[in-house]
Amino acid sequence: MTRTFSLGQAAKSAGQFKIDYEQLLNPRQYDAVKEFQGPILCIAGAGSGKTRTLIYRVARMIESGIDPESILLLTFTRKAARNMLERVTHLIGDEGKQVAGGTYHSFASMILRKYGHHIGIPASFSILDEADSSDIINLIRNELGFNRKESRFPQKKTITQIFSKAQNLEKPITEIVDSFFAQFAEHSKDLCRLNEEFAAYKLKNALLDYDDLLKYLYKLLKESDEARSRITSKYRYIMADEYQDTNSVQARITILLGGISNNIMVVGDDAQSIYSFRGARVGNIIEFPGIFKNCRIIRLERNYRSTGAILDAANSLMEKAGEGFKKNLFTERDKGELPARVKCEDDQEQAMFVAARILELREQGIKLDQMAVLFRSSFHAYQLELELKKRNIPYAKWGGFKFLEAGHLKDIIAHLRVLQNPYDQVSWLRILLLIDGVGTHTATDIFNHLKASPEPFDLNAIKARPKATEGLQKLSKMLTSAARIIQSPPARLLEIVSDYYFPILKARFDDYPRRFKDVDQLALIAEKFERLTDFLADLALEPPRDSVDDVLAPETDENEKLILSTIHSAKGLEWHSVFIISALDGRFPSFSSFKTEADLEEERRLLYVAMTRASENLAISYPSQIWDPATGSLFARPSRFLEEINGTLLENWQITR
């Protein structure tokens, strides 16, 4: 590997930049941008121009002669990285494209393909998403006979969550079960056993789940001197965004990556930490200066996004925060209108209010895509979705049910996976079960047979019931011919699979026309890739976030859509007008957060994140009561957080019919 060394850095002086950074940034931002040697912790409040700062920092680095390929930008989603680097490119030209950027997970995936062999990971590993992991766990659970217990064993999805939480928090299974899933305490031992088997299975089949990606990247950096020195000498300028939402493995990775060059900046806001359920530690950001000596701390506290009134209300909410990370966010904008506190009769009335108000704002010239409705959990929006459909208001929903979770798309992907890895047991079982006359037993037999065969796609020698033979032959024929052109663009392979799958789809689902369209949508995504491996790896690392409904919506109407989003998915974004719905104790804060003070505090930060998404208009609404069938209780109290916000900072709205 060669390393480029540029003399440009010394040659250029401040006056030679194309961009007038000092003019375009406020003094604090400029501080963070102009200095890129040495460690920096940047505490960036909501709407303080954090993204802008990062973009200009990368631009300035490149303008100073730093090799763009030595810059690594770690962000929370890959989309965030992509957008930022596009803007860098826009500012200074194509060099911006050479900067490495992505999530910790995607970075891990890339590095492990290249250097994984140092710790025994083959370059051809596949990535498991949560559903894949569940399926494998289910398989092993059945083999171990744990499903036939007298007392109920947790469901596959729950087990997956338990395992993931254990790895994210780096705690033993038993402890996770005791503290978060006490109802399954009696199965602790079996769960440990299952977890061991699961780990062994992944190892044997070269499968990595999300947690493994991080775990092995850390292991690589820690244990392989050669890999570490190659990686750290390539990436000499590290920036990590949303650092408050990293877990301890990610923090250790960051420290190892930045430890040699010391040129590391982490950016974050402890008041916006909302991912502790998956192991995020606010501690990472707080401990950072202690780990990197001479770390400079830069605070961005001027908010450019929201009106004074919105900011006052948000600050008021955080004043009562149990843990005192005091923020001093200020704005020089006008006060604007007070945020609305809207009491509605019920869920239905709330939906009607939101829809009517949205239409009113639209009359005033605010575009639909400048408005968003935010909620704690995605099912809170069901009623509203009905109302929007009724009134023909186009919307896109983020979070909740994912496009790829639809059964028919999983079927298609399973076929592609088998092509890529003919020994992928879960995918084989899935596609074999689609054939008439094949059940779990036959499918397992077939898999065991072909596992030992040099021609895994040749199913002709298989013994099965007569009813099944025709289907098996078709499958075999399709896979064999697709395998012959396995190097073709994934879109082509997808086409072959779809042609085969359409009759099955038609027979299985009444609503097959709708589902056909989903497949077309998948094909559009596939077109962006040249190799099947890349396509499949990408689907796991960054599943398309649009819901099925959204994909089905006609692509007309100049793309102007209202956004419905979980607060988690709305992180980092902003809209002119924001509605926060179902601010009802039990819904938000969520019933399941009542147990501990820490969980409640996270709900508070979540509301803070939601409120600070709004630039001009904010309305927080709640139905006066809701019957919750899940808990069997009646929620009838407005969110406790609404009570805590200083009453003079909100305006109460009355609904009349």
Partner DNA sequence: CGAGGGGTTGTTTTT
Partner DNA sequence: CAACCCCTCG
Contacting residue, 246, 442, 547, 621, with DNA by CB under 7 A: 442
Of residues 600-639, those binding DNA (CB under 7 A):
629-631
Q: Any contact of residue 549 with DNA (CB under 7 A)? A: no
Q: Which stretch binds DNA (CB under 7 A): 54-62, 83-91, 575-583, 586-594?
A: 586-594
What string marks each residue from 164 to 203 as x (binds DNA by CB under 7 A) or -?
x---------------------------------------
**Residue 346, both tokens:** 């019920």
Q: Any contact of residue 543 with DNA (CB under 7 A)? A: yes
CA distance 106 to 103: 5
Catalytic residue, from 63, 135, 190, 241: name it: 241
Can you list the alpha helix ranges (DSSP code H) found in 235-273? 248-258
Contacting residue, 8, 439, 503, 647, with DNA by CB under 7 A: 439
Cβ count near 30 (within 10 Å): 19
Q: Can you tell me whether residue 265 is helix, strand or coil?
A: strand
50 a catalytic residue: yes
CA distance 85 to 371: 26
Catalytic residue, from 28, 29, 50, 160: name it: 50
Q: Any contact of residue 410 with DNA (CB under 7 A)? A: no
Contacting residue, 399, 456, 490, 623, with DNA by CB under 7 A: 399
Q: Which stretch binds DNA (CB under 7 A): 5-13, 221-229, 342-350, 535-543?
A: 535-543
Phi/psi of residue 574, nearest 5 degrees: -145, 155
Cβ count near 593 (within 10 Å): 20
Of residues 137-166, those binding DNA (CB under 7 A):
138, 147-148, 152, 155-158, 161, 164
**Residue 504, both tokens:** 């099955």
Residue among 609, 614, 618, 615 at smallest CA distance from 242: 609
CA distance 248 to 215: 10
Of residues 205-234, those binding DNA (CB under 7 A):
210
Shortest distance, position 298 Cβ to DNA, whole Å: 26
Give, as one character, the DSSP assignment of residue 366: -
Pick between residue 344 and residue 540 the one whose CB is nearest to DNA: 540
23 burial (CB, 10 Å; 0-12 / 13-18 / 19+) is: exposed
Residue among 333, 396, 391 at smallest CA distance from 362: 391
Of residues 297-316, those binding DNA (CB under 7 A):
none
CA distance 375 to 379: 9
**Residue 375, both tokens:** 């909620």
Catalytic residue, from 132, 209, 242, 518: name it: 242
CA distance 71 to 73: 7
Q: At a CB cut-off of 8 Å and minimum separation 6, what does 636 contact?
A: 584, 624, 625, 626
Q: Which stretch binds DNA (CB under 7 A): 292-300, 328-336, 435-443, 479-487?
A: 435-443
CA distance 253 to 541: 19
Query: CA angle, corner 183, sides to 180 and 187, nearest 5?
Result: 100
Contacting residue, 337, 436, 557, 643, with DNA by CB under 7 A: 436
Q: Any contact of residue 535 with DNA (CB under 7 A)? A: no
- Gyration radius from the chain CA atoms: 26
Q: Which stretch binds DNA (CB under 7 A): 64-72, 481-489, 538-546, 553-561?
A: 538-546
Shortest distance, position 74 Cβ to DNA, whole Å: 10
Contacting residue, 93, 122, 356, 379, with DNA by CB under 7 A: 379
Cβ atoms of residues 126 and 208 within 8 Å = yes
Contacting residue, 76, 292, 353, 579, with DNA by CB under 7 A: 76
613 a catalytic residue: yes
Q: Any contact of residue 263 with DNA (CB under 7 A)? A: no
242 a catalytic residue: yes
Count residues near DNA (CB under 7 A): 53
Pick between residue 293 and residue 441 the one whose CB is nearest to DNA: 441
Give, as one character, the DSSP assignment of residue 374: E
Residue among 462, 459, 498 at smallest CA distance from 476: 459
Pick between residue 482 and residue 519 the one whose CB is nearest to DNA: 519
Q: Which amino acid is at 100?
A: A
296 a catalytic residue: no
Catalytic sites, residue numbers: 50-51, 241-242, 272, 613
Q: Which residues bind DNA (CB under 7 A)?
A: 76-78, 103, 105-106, 129-130, 138, 147-148, 152, 155-158, 161, 164, 210, 275, 277-278, 376-379, 398-400, 433, 436-443, 465, 541-543, 545, 566, 568-569, 590, 592-593, 599, 629-631
